[in-house]
Chain A
Amino acid sequence: MTIRILLLALLTLLYAAPVQAHPHVWVTMKSELVYAEDGTVTGVRHHWAFDDMFSAFATQGLESKEKGKFTREELSELAKVNVESLKEYGYFTYAIADGKKAPLTDPQPDYWLDYNDSVLTLNFTLPFKTPVKAKELTIDIYDPTIFVDFSFDKKSPVQLVGAPQCKLDVQLPREMTFAEGKALAQIPADQSNTTMAWGAQFANKILVKCP
């Protein structure tokens, strides 16, 4: 009996999470939904502030006139690399309009990075392929592999820019409590995880309801 438990424990350890990584990058987001005059949503504007460790890492070796400070121009090449590499991951932004997937396209070319108080912030706008008019628009922001940990800024997480009478709701990903962590640890080891659900579970959700 103990042998079986041992074997199951071994298998779980070996195979439960070979695909996953834990976050190595933390992003604090401020997002805006940009509306056109006709009341359609044209895109999502993101301002992603990276954690200090990643900011230090990303700016390593970059040339700057003043030590410890970077101008927008000095960071332009890094911004390009950042945005281009995000393409592969769908910019971690998933939109659903009235239950249907609403595709977003590549960012507008006016993206930029800035650097303040040792924090690097990436600013970019993702346009919708076709402007969206929906009674219910949901935008999820998360990394399915949780390499990047996203969370909304506490003060001003989401703004609606030029929106008609719409109701905005922002759902933060729930944080795992200590008790929860303990309870989870006691779940039999043979119940493995569906890799993807973990990331989605901790998605940041923007919910907009319009009449």
Chain B
Amino acid sequence: MRCALLILAVLLVFGALDVTLAQPFGMSRTPAPPEIGGFTGWILAKQAEFYRMMSGTIRAAKADGSAAWTLMGISFLYGIFHAAGPGHGKAVISSYLVANDETWRRGIVLSFASAILQAFTAIALVGIAAVLLNATAKTMGDTVRVIEIVSYALIVLIGLRLLWVKGRAFLALLRPKVHDHQHAHRDHDRAHDHHHDHGHDHAHHDHHHDHAEEASAWGHAHAPEPSELAGRHWLRRGLAAIVAVGLRPCSGAIIVLVFALAQGLFWIGVASTFVMGIGTAITVAVIATIAVGARGLAGRLAKAKPGAGMILVRGLETAAAVVIVAFGALLLTGYIVSERMVGV
């Protein structure tokens, strides 16, 4: 079990490295020996299939209103598969949850909020640029590129902030003698944060306890400053993550919206985009829940083995923060491409 968690921590880092090395266009031009990525390949094939079905259904909806319902079904499935395939959203959200030690409920809220925001930005972009201003695809593409930079920069900032907090906690744990006051303070503060939550949510009773004990392993107990507490409400803290992930609209949604507009059915495109968002949210929420579950196991382990366990937990959190920074930096520098707007 512990072994599995260690592997997880190592792989989190290696996963990030792997991303660094894989360059979309730096490949050799001779075809590599065929090697199909099982699960990935299947997901890619599926979402392409659903996406392809959309154009025909939108056309059909022009003459026959009932086709709109079919379109909603397809959009939903597309959303589910789309989120399981490419995209950095799930990786950033999951890593964020692991690093911050959030609950699965919060994970679901963050997943839904970011996916719905993503639908909103696509609709806002096409609504303003194409419908109101009759802007060209190039203008929209350029706008997306600007949004992208802001979004990726935000991911880097979130990651760096987490790395600062979690990395220091991790290092301090490795050198227990050089235990700085400030950082113990912060951790206690976190325990308090959970306590605060406890009032609203009884289901998290256990969780609260976990953390109280986990934090008590630090040995210091100070009352946090009230001002500090207010600024640390989880949703407010998570807002940055929601915005970072949800800001960049999905290329597919933009194309569907413009196509629907060209058919004189913009509102059907809008509905389809929201349904896609719900599908996306479900997938991201499932993955986020698994991540939180894994993190929870690590927490329980830490309780059983106060010394090594805590190192593992803090190491995991630090690794998750590193993953966020890596993702953001690679996206920002263009080493990995989340999605592109080609030819326009």
B200 to chain A, nearest CB (A): 28
Distance A54 CA – B135 CA, assembled complex (angstroms): 16
A155 to chain B, nearest CB (A): 21
B88 x A144 contact (CB < 8 A): no
A18 x B44 contact (CB < 8 A): no
Q: Note all chain A residues with C-beta closer than 8 A to B258.
A: 56-57, 60
**Candidates A11, A181, A187; contact of B45 at CB < 8 Å:** A181
A194 x B24 contact (CB < 8 A): no
Q: Answer whether residue B259 sits at the interface, using C-beta atoms and an 8 A cutoff.
A: yes
Distance A20 CA – B64 CA, assembled complex (angstroms): 35
Contact mask B1-41 → A, CB, 8 Å, 1/0? 10011011001100100110010110101111111111111
Interface size class of B (residues with CB under 8 A): 35 or more
B326 to chain A, nearest CB (A): 10
Interface size class of A (residues with CB under 8 A): 35 or more
B55 x A198 contact (CB < 8 A): no
B287 x A53 contact (CB < 8 A): no
B342 x A18 contact (CB < 8 A): no
Q: Note all chain B residues with C-beta closer than 8 A to A145.
A: 24-25, 337, 340
B42 x A26 contact (CB < 8 A): no
Closest residue of chain A to B19, judged by CB? A18
B32 x A194 contact (CB < 8 A): yes
Q: Note all chain B residues with C-beta closer than 8 A to A184.
A: 36, 38-39, 41-42
Q: Note all chain B residues with C-beta closer than 8 A to A210.
A: none
Specify which of B15, B33, B140 lies most central, judged by the most chain A CB atoms within 10 Å of its CB: B15
Q: Answer whether residue A191 sits at the interface, using C-beta atoms and an 8 A cutoff.
A: yes
A150 to chain B, nearest CB (A): 12
Contacts known (A57-B258, A192-B37, A193-B35); A22 close to B47, Cβ less than 8 A: yes
A9 x B36 contact (CB < 8 A): no
B8 x A7 contact (CB < 8 A): yes
Contact mask B55-78 → A, CB, 8 Å, 1/0? 100010000000000000000000
A61 x B130 contact (CB < 8 A): yes
B34 x A197 contact (CB < 8 A): yes
Contacts known (A4-B4, A60-B262, A145-B24); A10 close to B336, Cβ less than 8 A: no
A22 x B140 contact (CB < 8 A): no
Distance A34 CA – B124 CA, assembled complex (angstroms): 47
Q: Answer whether residue A163 sits at the interface, using C-beta atoms and an 8 A cutoff.
A: no
Q: Is the interface of B mostly helix, strand, loop or mixed?
A: helix
A200 x B31 contact (CB < 8 A): yes
Q: Answer whether residue B261 sits at the interface, using C-beta atoms and an 8 A cutoff.
A: yes
**Candidates B24, B46, B287; contact of A19 at CB < 8 Å:** B24
Q: Answer whether residue A136 sits at the interface, using C-beta atoms and an 8 A cutoff.
A: no
Scan residues 315-344 of chain B and give those whose CB is less than 8 A from a CB of chain A.
327, 336-340, 342-344
Closest residue of chain A to B261, judged by CB? A60
A119 to chain B, nearest CB (A): 12
List the one stretch of A37-45, A84-92, A124-132 in contact with chain B: A84-92
Q: Answer whether residue B234 sits at the interface, using C-beta atoms and an 8 A cutoff.
A: no
Distance A201 CA – B38 CA, assembled complex (angstroms): 13
B341 to chain A, nearest CB (A): 8
Closest residue of chain B to A178, judged by CB? B45
Q: Answer whether residue B139 sits at the interface, using C-beta atoms and an 8 A cutoff.
A: yes
Distance A54 CA – B55 CA, assembled complex (angstroms): 10
Closest residue of chain B to A142, judged by CB? B31
A17 x B259 contact (CB < 8 A): no
Q: Answer whether residue A58 sits at the interface, using C-beta atoms and an 8 A cutoff.
A: yes
Q: Answer whether residue B309 sits at the interface, using C-beta atoms and an 8 A cutoff.
A: no
Q: Answer whether residue B248 sits at the interface, using C-beta atoms and an 8 A cutoff.
A: no
Q: Answer whether residue B224 sits at the interface, using C-beta atoms and an 8 A cutoff.
A: no
Task: List residues of chain A with CB under 8 Å of any chain B CB.
Answer: 3-4, 6-7, 9-26, 51-54, 56-62, 78, 81-82, 85-86, 88-90, 94, 96, 101, 140, 144-149, 176, 181, 184-189, 191-198, 200-201, 203
- Name 23 interchain pairs, CB-CB below 8 A, sorted by A: A7-B294, A10-B287, A13-B290, A14-B90, A17-B37, A18-B87, A20-B40, A21-B339, A26-B52, A51-B55, A57-B259, A59-B137, A60-B140, A82-B344, A101-B30, A144-B25, A145-B25, A184-B38, A187-B38, A191-B38, A196-B32, A197-B35, A201-B35
Known: A12-B39, A184-B42, A197-B34. 6 other contacts (CB 8 A): A6-B293, A11-B12, A18-B87, A51-B55, A60-B130, A90-B25
Can you list the 9 inter-chain pairs with the closest CB atoms, starting with the nearest? A193-B37, A187-B38, A15-B15, A200-B31, A61-B136, A56-B262, A197-B35, A17-B40, A94-B29
